[in-house]
A and B are shown apart, each in its own frame.
Chain A
């Protein structure tokens, strides 16, 4: 049997999490077919066909596929799914929205947000916001799986030449309508995918002081994060919240400033590769997960940090 991977894209380019999902899919079975559903997305089909791990691209076009409404995508995936043992997508808002709709249509109990493929039917997935890992085995004949993108490497994107097969669109679902999409107005990388995250907590004392963090974030091309305490205190808006009820991030470098390290915050960032904590309270729980801890007043440490970064002649971005 083969794996059917649902591509996420914007009709011009493949979105990067698709590349992580292809890596995960190829660990379930080497025969990975990608289903591309969109509108005028021929360029995306071509770039998907060049991915060595992809053995075939199925390409469906319709005007109503432009904005990836799950209600339109799901019936087509269901129609195509017959020959496949696994249906896979990334566990970001695209896949989270879509996959359960497919799974319910197929009467399959979905396995969400896996971080490891143990065998073709057994997977590792975090529960309780990553405080517990569960090994689970799907007993459904066909599996619906979403994968945590940050737990799988990006696949190679060139050198392949998979055939592209055009397939017919499914009927339009007319009860839901896309209106608009507004991007976050920011030159910074997305919090969920940033290589570096600089986060502030209640220790920042007010919203203006976040400027100290944004200066450093500019230097490191980092996203800005925050603890729930900082969000609740109104220092920064909710989309920056890292933690159990916010976003789970796994950057190469996470810098926690003035964050004590409550359980719900640690749940959102403790899988980061390198963690730095800057806090004046040497007993703060954040130090128990930090690779490098600096016990200092952040209002002295942050300007010095910026100064030291300015001294470096190049910075990895």
Chain B
């Protein structure tokens, strides 16, 4: 079995994101970048499947600027066998990412495609579902547990009502929730080894995918600041305020 794992380079989740003064975007210069957290779960799951002897190859792929190679290298360091970067400039919307991934899926013919359920930068939560639509494959989104059967996959999904279990035929797309597993850290020797693994670089144009945005970002701004609150001196005062001033209890 061959597994393709899509990853994305995003601003690190611990960074306080700031808006550029002209409102055209967020500040990314000299800001710490990392792999998208649920994408780490996607890689981890693929590596676990391979370690269990159920997969033969893991390909890590990303769509993004030149520097996104770092994110692919990180995936290689935790166990992916080879990498692909599809180089693009500027904002690439999920639909375009899905189209680029579709081209690679058609070429590589993986049995499974994993990715995080959502990127923590644009918060779209679309790419996996879109890719499965384009391929007309089953989709198992927000996965918190995966069990590989013979030619199917049993997936437990995190839904609002609780947990849902579905069975999907392979090939299939799985988008991963943070609860799926505990991503490992790359060891230093493995980071060194990852530098020698193959990383193929293509462009969206090579694949014939138009990445022109269809949704214009008119402006970005910081959310309105909350007005400063007050400190109360006692629990009794707090309860009194909640009841008579805020009227919420």
- Interface code B8-28, partner A: CB below 8 Å = 1, 0 otherwise? 000101111101000000100
In the complex, what's the smallest C-beta–C-beta distance from B168 to chain A, in angstroms? 5
Counting contact residues on chain B (CB < 8 A from A), the size range is 35 or more
Provide the B131-145 mask, 1 if CB < 8 A to any CB of A, else 0: 111100111111000
Within 8 A of B (CB), among A243-291: 244-246, 252-253, 263-264, 270-271, 273-276, 282, 287-291
The CA-CA distance from A173 to B135 in the complex, in Å, is 13
A63 interface residue (CB < 8 Å to B): no
Say whether A96 contacts B141, CB under 8 Å. yes
Chain A binder among B49-57, B69-77, B93-101: B93-101
Tell me if B167 and A179 are in contact (CB < 8 A): yes
A101 touches B132 (CB 8 A): yes
Please, how many angstroms separate the alpha-carbon atoms of A267 and B108 in the complex? Answer: 39
A140 at the interface (CB under 8 A from B): yes
**Quick one: closest B residue to A138, CB to CB?**
B215
With both beta carbons as reference points, the residue of chain A lying nearest to B223 in the complex is identified as: A133
Q: Kindly state whether residue B201 has any CB partner on chain A within 8 Å.
A: no
Partner of A315, one of B159, B219, B230, B249: B249
Residues of B within 8 A of A111 (CB): 215
Interface centre among A127, A239, A315 (most CB of B within 10 A): A127
The interface stretch among A18-26, A49-57, A69-77 is A69-77
**Is residue A100 within 8 Å, beta carbon to beta carbon, of the partner chain?**
yes
Bitwise, B219-248 to A at CB < 8 A (1) or not (0) is 111110010111110111011011100111
A93-B160, A103-B95, A291-B246 given as contacts; is B123 within 8 A of A139 (CB)?
A: no
Given contacts A101-B129, A136-B216, contact A270 B235 (CB under 8 A): no
Question: In the complex the two chains form, is A133's CB within 8 Å of B221's CB?
Answer: yes
A110 touches B94 (CB 8 A): yes
Would A93 and B142 count as touching, CB distance under 8 A? yes
Which B residues touch A238, using CB under 8 A? 178-179
Contacting residue for B120 out of A71, A110, A244, CB 8 A: A244
Q: How far is the CB of A219 from chain B (nearest CB, A)?
A: 9
| Distance of A197 from chain B, by nearest CB (Å) | 12
Most buried by B among A101, A139, A301: A101
Query: Residue B217 at the A interface, CB < 8 A?
Result: yes
> Contact between A181 and B161 (Cβ–Cβ < 8 Å)?
yes
List the A side residues contacting B249 at CB < 8 Å: 196, 220, 253, 309, 312, 315-316
A270-B19 Cα distance, complex, nearest whole Å: 18
One of A34-42, A160-168, A207-215, A292-300 at the interface: A292-300
Cβ-defined contact, A127 with B13, below 8 A: no
Asked if residues A274 and B230 are in contact (CB atoms below 8 Å), the reply is no
The reply to whether B95 and A301 contact each other, CB–CB distance below 8 Å, is: no
Q: How far is the CA of A104 from the CA of B132 in the complex (A)?
A: 9
Per-residue A-contact encoding for B196-228, CB less than 8 Å = 1, 0 else: 000000000000000001111111111100101
Please judge, given known A-B contacts A178-B166, A292-B242, whether A97 and B139 are in contact too, CB under 8 Å: yes
Question: Are B126 and A294 in contact (CB-based, < 8 A)?
Answer: no
Other-chain contact of A264, B14, B131, B164, B248 (Cβ < 8 Å): B14
A19 and B124 alpha carbons, distance in the complex (Å) = 22
Task: Give A105 to B134 CA distance when docked, in angstroms.
Answer: 7
Main secondary structure of the interface of B (DSSP, over half): mixed
Residues of A close to B19: CB separation below 8 A:
132
Nearest CB of chain B from residue A282's CB, rounded to whole Å? 8
Query: Which residue from chain A places its CB closest to the CB of B19 in the assembled complex?
Result: A132
User: In the bound complex, do residue B231 and residue A287 qualify as a contact, i.e. CB atoms below 8 Å apart?
Assistant: yes
Per-residue B-contact encoding for A124-138, CB less than 8 Å = 1, 0 else:
011111111111111
The reply to whether B238 and A276 form a contact with Cβ atoms under 8 Å apart is yes
A187 at the binding interface (Cβ < 8 Å): no
- Known interface pairs A103-B95, A312-B243. Does A92 touch B160 (Cβ–Cβ under 8 Å)? yes
By beta carbon, the residue of chain A nearest B227 is A291
A109 interface neighbour in B15, B165, B213, B222, Cβ under 8 Å: B213
The answer to whether A180 and B130 touch across the interface, beta carbons within 8 angstroms, is no
Interface residues of B in 157-187 (CB under 8 A from A): 157-169, 172, 178-179
B66 within 8 A of A: no
- Least CB distance from A292 to B in Å reads 5
Q: From known contacts A103-B126, A126-B223, infer whether A252 and B248 are also in contact, taking CB-CB under 8 Å.
A: yes
Contacts of B134 in A (CB 8 A): 104
Check A308/B217 contact, CB under 8 A, given A104-B130, A109-B95, A112-B124: no
| Distance (whole angstroms) from the CB of A235 to the closest CB of chain B | 16
Partner of B139, one of A71, A126, A130, A135: A71
Instruction: List 26 A-B pairs, Cβ < 8 Å.
Output: A91-B125, A94-B159, A99-B129, A100-B128, A100-B133, A104-B133, A104-B134, A109-B93, A122-B218, A127-B122, A131-B17, A132-B220, A134-B220, A135-B218, A135-B221, A136-B218, A178-B166, A179-B154, A196-B248, A253-B242, A263-B14, A275-B226, A291-B226, A294-B231, A296-B235, A305-B235
Interface residues of A (CB under 8 A from B): 69-71, 74, 91-94, 96-105, 107-113, 122, 125-140, 173, 175-184, 190, 192, 196, 220, 238-239, 244-246, 252-253, 263-264, 270-271, 273-276, 282, 287-296, 301, 304-305, 308-309, 312, 315-316
